[in-house]
Chains A and B, each alone.
Chain A
Amino acid sequence: MMRLPTLAGEWIDRTRTVTFTFESEPVTGYEGDTISTALAAGGARVFGRSFKYHRPRGFLSFANHDVNVMTQVESVGRSIPNVRGDVEAPIAHSKVTAVNTRGGLKNDRYAFLNRLSTFLPVGFYYKAFHSKRLFPTWERLFRRITGLGTVDLEASHRSTPKRYDFCDVLVIGAGPAGLSAALAAASTGADVLLVDENRALGGSGLYARAGTESVLAKTETLVRAVLAEPRIRVLLSSFASGYYADHWVSVIAPEAMVKVRARSVVIAQGAYEQPCVFRGNDLPGVMLASAAQRLLYRFSVAPARRIAVLTANAEGYAAALDAKSRGLEVAAVLDLRATPGPDSADLMAQLSQQGIRVITDVKPIEAVAGRDGSVARLRYRVGGSEEAIAVDGVWMSVGFAPASAFLHQAGATMRYESSIEQFVPERLPAGLYACGKVAGAYDLAARIADGERAGRQAVSALGSVDALPVAPVMPVRECPNHPYPVFAHLAGKEFVDFDEDLQIKDIENACQEGFDSTELLKRYSTMGMGPSQGKHSNLNALRILAAWRGDAMGAHALTTSRPMFHPVPMAHLAGRGFMPERKTPMDADHARLGAVWMPAANWRRPEYYAVPDVSREAAITAEVHAVRNGVGLIDVGTLGKIEAHGARAGEFLDRIYTARYSNLKVGMTRYGLMLDESGVIIDDGVIARLTPECFYFTTTTGNSATLFREFGRLATWWGIPVGLVNLTGHYAAFNLAGPQSRAVLSQLTDMDLSDAAFPYLAVREGLVAGVPCRLMRVGFVGELGYEIHLPFEFGSELWRAVLQAGQGHGIRPFGVEAQRMLRLEKGHVIIGQDTDGVTNALEIDAPWAIKMDKAFFIGQRSLAVLAKQPLRQTLVGFQMPLGVTERPKECHLIIEQGRIAGRVTSVGFSPTLGRVIGLALVDPTVAHQSHLRVRREAGVEASLEVTSHPFYDPAGARQKMELAS
């Protein structure tokens, strides 16, 4: 057992155990353990296999970057892939296995790949896939061999709520600098949110103790002050995953994503300890010193019995003292430097008191594995001779890389500060502050002072769009970072990137092959592209790149960091789709009548009403016949419905539509065509004048919201005082159409429906079945018809009343398909179908709707220009011979003399006329031809007979009832 004696403040609860299996072996840990610590406490050293060479791996960072220790966790019906053993707690009774093995962790059959590393050069995928012929072979092979966890396709749905939070100052990172920043900000009265990925406040102050109580005591004082401060709220076990515009930060809490809106953000995320690059630096037992310290103090687990500390800073000396104080044997402190700095010298005195020898000017040669595959010996060179030391643990403490991903995401720039061999902030965007190790402050007192400075600044400049100058880097007595902790070995296996198994030669070969800039190197070698995103590899790779090119470190920037900071479960990212589907008040009535639905913008509308044992075509045909010969009823409530009020409302509409409305008589309606400034048709509708100062008008379904909004802008821009009310959702509307419509309506109302009292194109307000309605007598489908608009709450009631009244007249509800055919028979143009984004008003041949003699309307000036030019296209009607049912489809091309001369825009079989009819937008030079050729598919052409349109009742007599009356 490697579990150490109980320590105050440890994160485990020794009164409660957790049992699970790892690779089928039972494991018992304590409540509070992670998967890795439970395994390590039992003496295990190997927790996973590396990605490429399938080398056995153990702890490296123990800080959520141990990518080689990812597991698949199966627990009561769920199988969760890629669970990080270093930070995730084991689920009781779960079945845990290492990912990326074939045949288990111990006897991974892909372990032979380790010996094939010579044949897996950098850029291997690019090279392998270069051959088209071999592509499929390689693909099949790689798909079988590569990959991590297994996605559970049967996983049940789990709800992942989103929460929202707001604060003045968001502090990310609760180490000494972050704690101090939070306190300073709160002391000025600011509302502070403090977020940390760990489960306790204190950061490295809890474990980088140098074997004494003083660091811990100072940290705990800060923690107590933070917990006592009511203006600081603390969010633990939660990591900030992404930084977005205006201090909008996503925080992944255990069960929810929290979207935090801060007014300013303090980044106190510290620094990632970096590995020393030497042969065998990936052997189980070789780890970062800070990883070992976390194990010693948080989980009371000894990762080794006898260790050597390979160091280049005072932090390594401190780690040796921590090891000693927790009862481990420290074989030696091996310092890469010839002369340790002043902080190290102070600690060296303590080490020698405890009988620990320090050897300086050391160059590691290799870590050698013992029989169990974990480290047994460290070979190094000192003073020209080779030495070896027998250990079961090597702790690396050679320097840090700032945790600057968030700074990059927020748009900060970094510069290389050679006095500490580290990138530090150069320019920070407004409202963003950095403090502590990420800003180059290492000494505890310096970190606390730096945090205080950042906390104060974060409040002082709240709301300013200008950035404050970046604070100077706090002075250090001793450089914490080795400038080049890289030691090549002829036999390689000195790992730079542990996610992707990249060695020194891979980086150098990539440079040699021309990929010698950071962004190219990354993509070619996959350096930093693994799940830890280069947190422990980018810096060393950059050093190797700079050395290879002979450049100074500052000459190359780190690669761009983007969200997410750590991998985030997809469940947190998946949103609940917010795509509201609008329903008219008669929706339930349609459903009862057998409606088959179709989408119309964000509404659903009946396409047609299904009839048992009758085909779709036959049902639609019956609906068309009902309207032409009897009476039909259609829900048109999806139309945009707008009121314009005011003395100048008519003038306003004159400017918006092509026709004139200021002279429209009260009680009458007029068709309206709307253009954009270039003369292109964008919408149409019917405008009714209810009173001298009130117009009521419709827009097409899809455009209602944007047009209503645009009307508001135009009124503002033009300075025309007009009150606009969007009644689209407030009003239901349906169209009662057909020769019998008046007879049906007259049963429900006392209004005078005679042609004299209620002529064609008139609008009237009155009661229908006791409901206050607006009735418009419009030509909609070319029959006598009434469009009835009424408050939505009466919609369903009146719909049913009308259907009831129409029973004796064979009334039939009809859907969008029948409506389209009825309107096509009348040659009515559908804006957006028979026109497109460049069709101008002259091209649809509707001069009656365009009043060029008005003072102004949108598009008028452009039409004046266009009128001087030949037409680019024109709309023609066509029909096919009787009996021909094979018809072209919309968008089929008109081909004349081998070139495209237009396209079909609407087409259908007209039940009324008994033949296929349609509209086409064609080149004006072919519009006069008697026939056009349409290509239905390659090699299949058909002849269309050009005909005038409307196809049916061209004089419009039926809608005016001149024949029927």
Chain B
Amino acid sequence: MKIMTCPINGPRLISEFAYAGELKEMPDPTQVSDEQWADYVFNKNGPAGIKREWWCHTASGVWFIAERDTTRDVIMRTYLYQAEVALT
């Protein structure tokens, strides 16, 4: 079983975590066309490679971002959304 490192709780079994898809910022709904909105809602980024994803440590409810290299099945790093993404 894989190990994932929660930014708050440290390394834990992957079974303690839940996945919630790719980190994808929502476009401003009032500014986009119907087509652009549909692209945001329905199209996911498929190719293997380094992915930024939402993960949750379910036991503590901590949400964070994990960068995974899906070609090697390696979790590169994990960090809090509010600490890195929200600031940029």
Residues of A bordering B, CB below 8 Å: 244-246, 248, 261, 465, 677-678, 708-710, 712-713, 716-717, 719, 856, 860-862, 865, 868
- What is the chain A residue whose CB lies nearest that of B33? A865
Q: Tell me the bound Cα distance from A868 to B33 in angstroms.
A: 13
Q: How close is A790's CB to chain B, nearest CB, in angstroms?
A: 25
Q: How close is A947's CB to chain B, nearest CB, in angstroms?
A: 36
Interface contacts beyond A677-B40, A868-B34: sample of 17 additional A-B pairs, CB < 8 Å, sorted by A = A245-B2, A246-B1, A246-B2, A248-B1, A465-B76, A678-B42, A708-B61, A709-B56, A713-B20, A713-B54, A716-B81, A861-B29, A861-B37, A862-B37, A862-B41, A865-B34, A865-B38
Whether B61 contacts A712 by the Cβ 8 Å rule is: yes
What residues on A are CB-neighbors of B20 within 8 Å? 710, 713
Q: Tell me the bound Cα distance from A214 to B85 in angstroms.
A: 64
Q: Is B18 an interface residue (CB 8 A)?
A: yes
Whether A719 contacts B86 by the Cβ 8 Å rule is: yes
- What is the chain A residue whose CB lies nearest that of B58? A709
Residues of B bordering A, CB below 8 Å: 1-3, 14, 18, 20, 29, 32, 34, 37-38, 40-42, 54, 56, 58, 61, 63, 73-74, 76, 81-82, 86
Choose from B2, B18, B37, B81 the contact partner of A865 (Cβ within 8 Å). B37
What residues on A are CB-neighbors of B82 within 8 Å? 716, 719
What residues on B are CB-neighbors of A717 within 8 Å? 81
Choose from B41, B54, B56, B86 the contact partner of A678 (Cβ within 8 Å). B41
- What is the chain B residue whose CB lies nearest that of A724? B61
What residues on B are CB-neighbors of A248 within 8 Å? 1-2
What residues on A are CB-neighbors of B1 within 8 Å? 244-246, 248
Q: How close is B36's CB to chain A, nearest CB, in angstroms?
A: 10
Whether B41 contacts A712 by the Cβ 8 Å rule is: no
Q: Tell me the bound Cα distance from A320 to B42 in angstroms.
A: 72
What residues on B are CB-neighbors of A713 within 8 Å? 20, 54, 56, 63
What residues on B are CB-neighbors of A862 within 8 Å? 37, 41
Q: Tell me the bound Cα distance from A709 to B56 in angstroms.
A: 8
Q: How close is B67's CB to chain A, nearest CB, in angstroms?
A: 12
Q: Tell me the bound Cα distance from A261 to B18 in angstroms.
A: 21
What residues on B are CB-neighbors of A709 within 8 Å? 18, 56, 58, 61
Going nearest first, the 3 A-B pairs with the smallest beta carbon separation are A861-B29, A245-B2, A246-B3
Name which of A248, A677, A717, A719 has the most chain B CB atoms within 10 A of its CB.
Answer: A717
- What is the chain A residue whose CB lies nearest that of B23? A717
- What is the chain B residue whose CB lies nearest that of A715? B63
Q: Tell me the bound Cα distance from A717 to B63 in angstroms.
A: 9
Q: Tell me the bound Cα distance from A225 to B2 in angstroms.
A: 34
What residues on B are CB-neighbors of A719 within 8 Å? 82, 86
Choose from A245, A677, A856 the contact partner of B41 (Cβ within 8 Å). A677
Q: Tell me the bound Cα distance from A862 to B58 in angstroms.
A: 30
Q: How close is B4's CB to chain A, nearest CB, in angstroms?
A: 9
Q: Tell me the bound Cα distance from A399 to B41 in angstroms.
A: 61
- What is the chain B residue whose CB lies nearest that of A244? B1
What residues on B are CB-neighbors of A246 within 8 Å? 1-3
Q: Tell me the bound Cα distance from A146 to B8 in angstroms.
A: 57
What residues on B are CB-neighbors of A261 within 8 Å? 3
What residues on A are CB-neighbors of B42 within 8 Å? 678
Q: Tell me the bound Cα distance from A746 to B54 in angstroms.
A: 49
- What is the chain B residue whose CB lies nearest that of A861? B29
Q: Tell me the bound Cα distance from A856 to B81 in angstroms.
A: 22
Q: How close is A74's CB to chain B, nearest CB, in angstroms?
A: 38
Q: Tell me the bound Cα distance from A712 to B81 in angstroms.
A: 12
Q: How close is B46's CB to chain A, nearest CB, in angstroms?
A: 18
Q: How close is B21's CB to chain A, nearest CB, in angstroms?
A: 10
- What is the chain B residue whose CB lies nearest that of A706? B18
22 A-B pairs with CB atoms under 8 Å apart are: A246-B1, A246-B2, A248-B1, A465-B74, A677-B41, A678-B41, A678-B42, A708-B61, A709-B56, A712-B56, A712-B61, A713-B56, A713-B63, A716-B63, A716-B81, A860-B29, A861-B32, A862-B37, A862-B41, A865-B34, A865-B37, A865-B38
Q: How close is B14's CB to chain A, nearest CB, in angstroms?
A: 8
Q: Tell me the bound Cα distance from A900 to B55 in angstroms.
A: 41
What residues on B are CB-neighbors of A860 within 8 Å? 29
Given contacts A678-B41, A678-B42, A856-B29, contact A712 B63 (CB under 8 A): yes
What residues on B are CB-neighbors of A716 within 8 Å? 63, 81-82
